[in-house]
Amino acid sequence: MGEFVSVEVADQIATIRLDRPKMNALSGQAQREIEEAAGIVDADPLVQAVILYGGERVFAAGVDIKEMAGMSYADMATHSTALQGCFTAVARIGKPVIAAVTGYALGGGCELALCADFRVAGESAKLGQPEILLGLIPGAGGSQRLPRLIGPAKAKDLIFTGRHVPAAEALAMGLVDRVVPDEQVYTAALEWAATFVGGPSVALRAAKQAVDQGLETDLDTGLEIERLQFSGLFATEDAKLGMKAFMEKSKAKFTGR
Instruction: Burial-class residue 169 by CB neighbours within 10 Å (0-12, 13-18, 19+).
Output: middle
8 catalytic? Reply is no
DSSP assigned state of 26: B
| Separation CA 59–CA 106 (nearest Å) | 9
33 catalytic? Reply is no
In the set 35, 56, 123, 131, the catalytic residue is 131
In the set 56, 67, 111, 191, the catalytic residue is 111
Comparing CA positions, the residue from 110, 115, 84, 116 lying closest to residue 97 is 116
Omega before residue 253 within 30° of 0, cis:
no
Q: What are phi and psi of 32, to 5 degrees?
A: -65, -40
Longest CA–CA separation in the chain, Å? 65
Beta strands in 46-85 (DSSP E): 49-53
Cβ contacts of 247 within 8 Å, gap of 6 or more: none
Comparing CA positions, the residue from 159, 134, 160, 165 lying closest to residue 64 is 134
Positions marked catalytic: 111, 131
